[in-house]
Amino acid sequence: MFENFDLQTFIYNLAVGAIPVLFAITLHEVAHGWVASRLGDKTAEMLGRLSLNPIRHVDPVGTIAIPAVLLLLGSPFLFGWAKPVPVNFRNLHHPRRDMMLVAAAGPGANLLMACGWTLLLGIFAMLGHDTPVGQGFMAMAQVGIIVNLLLMVFNLLPIPPLDGGRVLTGLLPPGPASLLSRVEPFGFLIVLALLASGVLSRILWPVMQGLAHVLQTVFLFWI
């Protein structure tokens, strides 16, 4: 695996990918906690998890190990996760409704960041895309767009405990919602099965490509 390892390429990929990935996974979790605090649950706030300091959200596996391995393997994109922000849904003012809002906040934050990186991509393209530094910043913006769209679309899959599963649970009538909530202990096994079968990539990539095209059409029309 390491016989063709290129240290210079690894360092470049790390420099380009680390910031977008770190922001994507950190702000995703902070958004959950921030919305929860506004809706009655102060758990994340009391534990200091609303901080933008990424150290407070680092997960040794999801934030460090997985992205590092992807870099070493020359993956075309980086992926990872932060420590989940604790939310006590019983403290929310309207638990059923507010649970959906808290869950949707993470993907919503990723969408906003994808929009921001798209704007930066346009700015970098206009200011200095012919220089190595300019190309590096453009690559960073592209990683930011891809990572945030990936996190958004992946987390919106209607499978508990993913955010989309929690949103769907809140939208369904009590009976079907209770049945769906029973899937939660097996949710990640289902995701792994979808990943291993190739179904997950066939779901995620077309949606991501469509969203990326929309963002480029909206924000980069002047280039």
What DSSP string runs through 163-201? HHHHHHHHHS-HHHHHHHHTTGGGHHHHHHHHHHHTHHH
Q: Give the tokens for residue 44.
A: 């994340």
Task: Give the span between the Cα atoms of 13 and 77, in whole angstroms.
Answer: 10
Pick the more confident residue, 75 or 145: 145
Residue 1 inside a domain? The answer is no
Please pick, among 3, 29, 45, 184, the residue that the annotation labels catalytic: 29
- Told to judge if 3 belongs to the known catalytic residues of this protein, a careful annotator would answer no
Residue 119, Cβ neighbours under 10 Å: how many? 15
Residue 116 confidence class, pLDDT cut points 50, 70, 90 = very high
Pick the more confident residue, 6 or 68: 68
Residues 6+ apart with CB under 8 A from 143: 16, 17, 20, 21, 77, 78
Total tally of structural domains belonging to the chain: 1
Residue 69 inside a domain? The answer is yes
> Which residue segment(s) compose the domain that 82 sits in?
7-219
Q: What is the pTM of this model?
A: 0.87
Residue 199 inside a domain? The answer is yes
Residue 206 inside a domain? The answer is yes
Q: What share of the chain is helix, strand, coil (3-state, %, to 5)?
A: 75, 0, 25
Residue 106 inside a domain? The answer is yes
Residue 76 inside a domain? The answer is yes
Residue 10 has pLDDT above 70, yes or no: no
pLDDT single digits (tens) 158-206: 999 899 999 999 999 999 999 999 999 998 889 878 877 888 888 999 9
